Amino acid sequence: MATFTRSSSTAAVLALAAVVLAVLGGAVEAQQLAPNFYSRTCPNLARIVRRGMASAVQKERRMGASILRMFFHDCFVNGCDGSILLDDTSTFTGEKGAGPNANSVRGFEVIDAIKAQVEASCTATVSCADILALAARDGVNLLGGPTWSVPLGRKDSRTASQSAANDNLPGPGSSLSTLISMFGNQGLSARDMTALSGAHTIGRSQCQFFRSRIYTEPNVNASFAALRQRTCPRSGGDANLAPFDVQTPDGFDNAYYQNLLQQKGLLHSDQELFNGGSQDALVRQYSNNPALFSSDFVTAMIKMGNLLPSAGTRTEVRLNCRKVN
């Protein structure tokens, strides 16, 4: 019979303690993500998410964009931990009501429906944060953008922070230096920021977020401003929608950057990327090299997806994405 040396028995005790902690308290440490994380525990995961996103996008093309944005707004607030999905409770005010999210981020019921399908097939196994990461990838791809393999193994938060959402998410009036520093705070470079902003090649914005740009800014294309003014009056109509990209509003391509060259950026923050500053050259490159944009976008999405809650944060695999277990 094997006898334990002192150090191996210590190691065994530590390993056991880690298992007990993981079972009782949820994961206590940030994990290394890997695309094959669920290959044995939930082999159909990617297919289930893809099917859910395909049906949502078939019902409404915009949903691919909405879910991509939801993932960004999740990752920028204490890491990609599904915190944006939590409803308010008596003990915390969630992120759904934060300024950048309220009456704006949409698609929660799409994630709920996918989660229900995933639970039916692999109970209590796949985090809501991972489902959102996969759904965002599929949203991009279903609208004609690239696909990539998504590193997995995120855990879900047990809380949410409205104030962190208000503090960490950039607003449409942001200057280039603010954008660079807000992405920098997350460990993302200016290049990552400019590539990720290409997400605005799909989706819509409400009039209230671009009104001042189309009525008051000097660096806006006159016919573009006139077109947008038709459905975004000087007062009223705050929630009226306009596509970010007029030509291919639901096509994930590099038209966003071509629009910026013509001063047809919809938000002030969009046009800041091409307004005589440090990102001009990269915007030009993306505008005539779709493959470069595509590959930088994927790199930056994976980098953003690697933002995790700080080590020591208690996490879990939520059963219902809207509430902690």
Report the catalytic residues: 73
Stretch near ligand HEM under the rule CB under 6 A, chosen from 62-70, 215-223, 278-286, 307-315: 62-70
Number of helices and strands in the chain (H, E): 14, 4
Q: How far apart are CA 301 and CA 193, in angstroms?
A: 10
Write the binding mask 207 to 246 for ligand HEM: x where contact by CB under 6 A, - elsewhere: --x-------------------------------------
Rule CB under 6 A: say whether 181 interacts with ligand HEM: no
Q: How far apart are CA 171 and CA 156, in angstroms?
A: 26
79 is in an annotated binding site: yes
Rule CB under 6 A: say whether 191 interacts with ligand HEM: no
- 92 — phi, psi (to 5°)? -150, 155
Stretch near ligand HEM under the rule CB under 6 A, chosen from 15-23, 53-61, 203-211, 249-257: 203-211
Stretch near ligand HEM under the rule CB under 6 A, chosen from 41-49, 86-94, 172-180, 278-286: 172-180
95 is in an annotated binding site: yes
Rule CB under 6 A: say whether 115 interacts with ligand HEM: no
- 3-state SS of the chain: helix, strand, coil percent to 5? 50, 5, 45
> In the 8-state DSSP scheme, what is residue 42?
-
Q: Bridge partners of 204?
A: 243
Q: How far apart are CA 30 and CA 147, in angstroms?
A: 25
* Member of 54, 60, 104, 289 binding ligand HEM (CB under 6 A): 104
Buried b (16+ CB within 10 A) or exposed e, 214-241: beeeeebbeebbeebeeebeeeeeeebe
217 is in an annotated binding site: no
74 is in an annotated binding site: yes
Minimum CB distance to ligand HEM, residue 62 (Å): 5
Rule CB under 6 A: say whether 294 interacts with ligand HEM: no
- 247 — phi, psi (to 5°)? -70, -50
Structure-block tokens of residue 155: 């855990």
Residue numbering of the annotated binding site for Ca(2+):
74, 77, 79, 81, 83, 95, 201, 245, 248, 253
| Residues tagged in the binding site annotation for substrate | 170
